[in-house]
Homo-oligomer: A and B are copies of this chain.
Amino acid sequence: MEGSRRLPDRNGLPAVENVSVVLVEPRNPLNIGAAGRAMANFGFLDMRLVDAYRVAADEARSGPHAEEVLKRSRDFATLSEAIADATLVVGTTSASKRDVHISIQRLEEAAQMIQQHNGRVAILFGSEKFGLSNEHMGYCHSLVRIPTVEDATSMNLGQAVSVTLYELIRRSPQTDLAPAGMLDEFVARLYEALQLAGYVHHDNVIEKLRRLTRRMNLREHDAVMWLGMVRQLLWKLKSEN
């Protein structure tokens, strides 16, 4: 937040300055410290502690190996205050069948949504013992679940933070990806070519093509190549009809 904060050398990783890691009611200084270390590893700067056990928070912050991110972490009395500036609030949970009326996303899906969000994103992690309460979840726009095996769903807090943040930085920023307009153009030209070649029998072919094309996850550079090829095929097919 402060202008004086030194930004880490991102080593080619995507920017994540708009993401805050919010630990709700953490009790163990080792876990707070582990979360801070994970944040430092992946270049996240903003840690917020909600109703943290004071001794634990102070111990984590003043420890000999405390990361910059821990020293600068801020305390909030309530979750509401901690996320006041966030326009997207994402809760993490290990349970697959919570009794809440919010859809639970896979971590990968949520990561894409978070990367594409322009305002402040708050990612909430519950206490070591109980996770996020139903009340906490009420503040969330969506819930995310790290995929774990059925009989060992409960993750260590530091590890949950680490895996979640890794998923946020592992892929290149979405600026790499082909814009939707280019994909639509590719689908339209391909559809035209297939019609000329007599391929198109069903009503929903163009929707099918759209889904197939989306699943290619094309980077812009590759999309330009594919589009060029389809245009050439289409030109030839047209010139002969």
Residues of chain A at the chain B interface (Cβ within 8 Å): 8-13, 30, 34, 37-38, 40-43, 67, 96, 107-108, 146-156, 158-159, 162-163, 166-167, 169-170, 190, 193-194, 196-199, 208, 212, 215-219, 222, 225-226, 228-229, 232-233, 235-237, 240
Contact = CB atoms under 8 A, between A and B. Distances in A.
A177 to B, nearest CB: 12
Contact of A150 (B11, B37, B158, B208): B11
B156 A37 contact: yes
Given A41-B149, A216-B216, A34 B197 contact: no
A153 B10 CA distance: 11
A152 B215 contact: no
Given A37-B156, A194-B232, A212-B226, A13 B199 contact: no
B240 A107 contact: no
Given A107-B170, A216-B216, A233-B193, A9 B150 contact: yes
Nearest to A38: B159
Given A194-B232, A233-B233, 5 more contacts: A9-B149, A42-B147, A43-B149, A166-B166, A199-B228
Given A156-B34, A159-B38, A166-B146, A198 B13 contact: no
Contacts of A193: 233
B11 A147 contact: yes
Given A166-B163, A166-B166, A170-B108, A8 B151 contact: yes
Contacts of A232: 194, 197-199
25 contacts: A9-B151, A11-B96, A11-B147, A11-B150, A13-B147, A30-B30, A34-B159, A37-B156, A37-B159, A38-B156, A41-B149, A41-B152, A43-B149, A155-B162, A163-B163, A166-B167, A196-B236, A198-B232, A198-B236, A199-B229, A199-B232, A212-B225, A216-B217, A217-B217, A237-B237
A87 to B, nearest CB: 25
B149 A13 contact: yes
